[in-house]
Amino acid sequence: MVARFRRMEGRPVFFCTGTDEHSQNVEKAAAKVELATKAFCDRMAEDIRNTFDKMEITYDRFIRTSDPDHEKVCQFLIEKAFQAGDVYKKKYEGLYCESCETFYTEKESVTGSKGLECPTHKVPLKKVEEENYFFRLSKFENQLKDYFLSKPEFLNPDFRRNEIVSFVNQGLRDFSVSRTGFKWGIPLPFDPEHVIYVWYDALINYLTAVKFPAPGNPNADAEFFKKFWPCDVHVVGKDITRFHAVYWPAMLWSAGIELPKTVFAHGHLMLNGEKMSKTRGNIVTPDEVMTDFGTNALRWYVISANSFSGDGNYSDQDIVLKCNADLSNNIGNLVNRVVTMAYKHFGESSPHNQNKLPDGIQNIASRFEQSFGAGAVKLREAIDSMDLMGYCSRVTEFSGSLNKFMDETKPWSQAKVVQKPEATDLDRAVFQSTLAQLLEGIRNLGIALWPVIPSASEAILAQLGVTALAVSADFDAVKLHSGKVITVPLFSKLSFDAAREFKLSPPKPLFPRLEIKE
């Protein structure tokens, strides 16, 4: 949604997502289904890409940490840290969670029935002794403290920042960056018996994706890198905030690379009020939801009904209620009623707005300003602060105010008046103005919906004759770095144009009412 919105603003966007593939657990999972690890990951990445495509996610690069360019960038950076003395070898004994593949201190662990357990997985922690390479995180403790003081905007939301600051204040321990005993990873360039372990591999994807000019990187492009780095935001799950807000800055400082401008930690979706868990069978996939309710419903529900910074919830009941209320009753009904009436009375041609409304009615230009602000600034502010739910509330509020406008102006009664022989020019002007303003309101509603539910937005705009083909001034063709070309309605057209003309097409119902399937 954010990437789409930024593209509407005409900004250069690079949106990276992908799969973190290296780990002993992945190797084990592949062995279990008797597949080569690479083949197993190929299948996994393919599945996720297909799902993302179905979800209309406009990524520029789907990076896999097993990609060859990524290997070069990781090896270069860890070598650099090694040369700088920030990576060193030591023997280590600690409490290890095999699911997290992370060491915990006694203090961080929780006490369960069988002794100390992983705070996340609630499984017994194993005492493990290993000789590994470590990254000197402790060296960067004060620099991190200062950074959070001088640049609080680096990590959002606030309550996550507070958690991280208190974590840093407890003192930082060096973390291990290599493992032995399995092969599925990037070999350490200075000790190939070891593979690079999780964070010195996964986090670096952000640099690889924007063509970091490491020696031997087949995709190196210094100019491209300069254009997109430092990036505006890393959007990460709350469970990996620490790695992005503590480990990653220190790794970048060690390499002399600028930090990303911000990190935003989002919450998790629960299912029927409980944590999703494959082992407990409490799980629903985006594909299942799209099969039952469609892509628009999935996107609308996840974005509009759940705060992005906190945890959210999914249930079949909730998605049905929310989408029927917002999409079918509020937005869909409005569009269908207005387009049906306008098409019936004016055909393809457009009613003209003469700014003549019944007495005492607030026009739609000022309703637009109330919900979206002048120049739709409130929508931009919602995106700037990652208040995606707030963005959607403004859109439904505006749609609601258009419905109210209809109830107040009663265009169906006006239609009867203008058909009488005694109808005046003023009667006709009022009828045309009412419908023209509604259509212009719906055009704006359609544009505002595009980042959230793009295909529904395009279907709304198409009924008004606003399409990429017919009215190219309303759209931009944007070539994603993946090579795919998408047409993007322009943010600058999100404003009330009193003289706007439309070329209507026959109305098409948009959002069928959802029902729970057994």
- Among 46-54, 98-106, 178-186, 377-385, which window interacts with Zn ion (CB under 5 A)? 98-106
Among 16, 30, 81, 118, binds Zn ion (CB under 5 A): 118
State the Rg of the chain over Cα. Answer: 27
Rule CB under 5 A: is residue 122 a binding residue for Zn ion? no
Rule CB under 5 A: is residue 100 a binding residue for Zn ion? yes
| Gap between the Cα atoms of 394 and 373, Å rounded | 10
Q: Least distance to Zn ion from the beta carbon of 445, Å?
A: 46
Rule CB under 5 A: is residue 321 a binding residue for Zn ion? no
* The two three-digit tokens of residue 282, written as one number: 């409490």
Size of residue set near Zn ion by CB under 5 A: 6
- Which residue, 151 or 173, is less far from Zn ion as judged by CB? 173
- Which residue, 241 or 414, is less far from Zn ion as judged by CB? 241
**How many helices and strands (H and E) does the chain possess?**
21, 18
- Which residue, 97 or 252, is less far from Zn ion as judged by CB? 97
Centre a 10 Å sphere on the Cβ of residue 59 and count the other Cβ atoms it contains. Answer: 20
Centre a 10 Å sphere on the Cβ of residue 313 and count the other Cβ atoms it contains. Answer: 14
- Among 115-123, 128-136, 213-221, 473-481, which window interacts with Zn ion (CB under 5 A)? 115-123
Q: Give me the 200-219 binding string for Zn ion, x by CB under 5 A, dash otherwise.
A: --------------------
- Among 44-52, 83-91, 117-125, 270-278, which window interacts with Zn ion (CB under 5 A)? 117-125
Is the alpha carbon torsion for 378, 381, 386, 387 positive or negative? Answer: negative
User: Cα 287 to chain center, whole Å?
Assistant: 17
364: exposed, middle or buried (C-beta count within 10 Å: 0-12, 13-18, 19+)? Answer: buried
User: Which one, of 122, 386, 121, 355, lies nearest residue 236 by Cα?
Assistant: 386
Q: Give me the 68-97 binding string for Zn ion, x by CB under 5 A, dash otherwise.
A: -----------------------------x
Rule CB under 5 A: is residue 455 a binding residue for Zn ion? no
Among 11, 28, 38, 121, binds Zn ion (CB under 5 A): 121
Place of tokens 């995709």: 219
Q: Least distance to Zn ion from the beta carbon of 90, Å?
A: 23
Rule CB under 5 A: is residue 126 a binding residue for Zn ion? no
| Gap between the Cα atoms of 447 and 257, Å rounded | 38
- Among 14-22, 54-62, 100-108, 288-296, which window interacts with Zn ion (CB under 5 A)? 100-108
Among 99, 142, 170, 419, binds Zn ion (CB under 5 A): 99
Q: Least distance to Zn ion from the beta carbon of 247, Å?
A: 17
- Which residue, 95 or 319, is less far from Zn ion as judged by CB? 95
Q: Least distance to Zn ion from the beta carbon of 1, Å?
A: 31
Q: Least distance to Zn ion from the beta carbon of 26, Å?
A: 15
For the chain, how many residues are written? 518
Question: H/E element holding 439?
Answer: helix 425-449
Q: Are 460 and 448 in contact (CB under 8 A)?
A: no
Q: Are 161 and 152 in contact (CB under 8 A)?
A: yes
- Which residue, 125 or 338, is less far from Zn ion as judged by CB? 125
| Gap between the Cα atoms of 170 and 179, Å rounded | 26
User: Which one, of 239, 208, 211, lies nearest residue 71 by Cα?
Assistant: 208
Provide the binding-site residues for Zn ion, judged by CB under 5 A: 97, 99-100, 118, 120-121
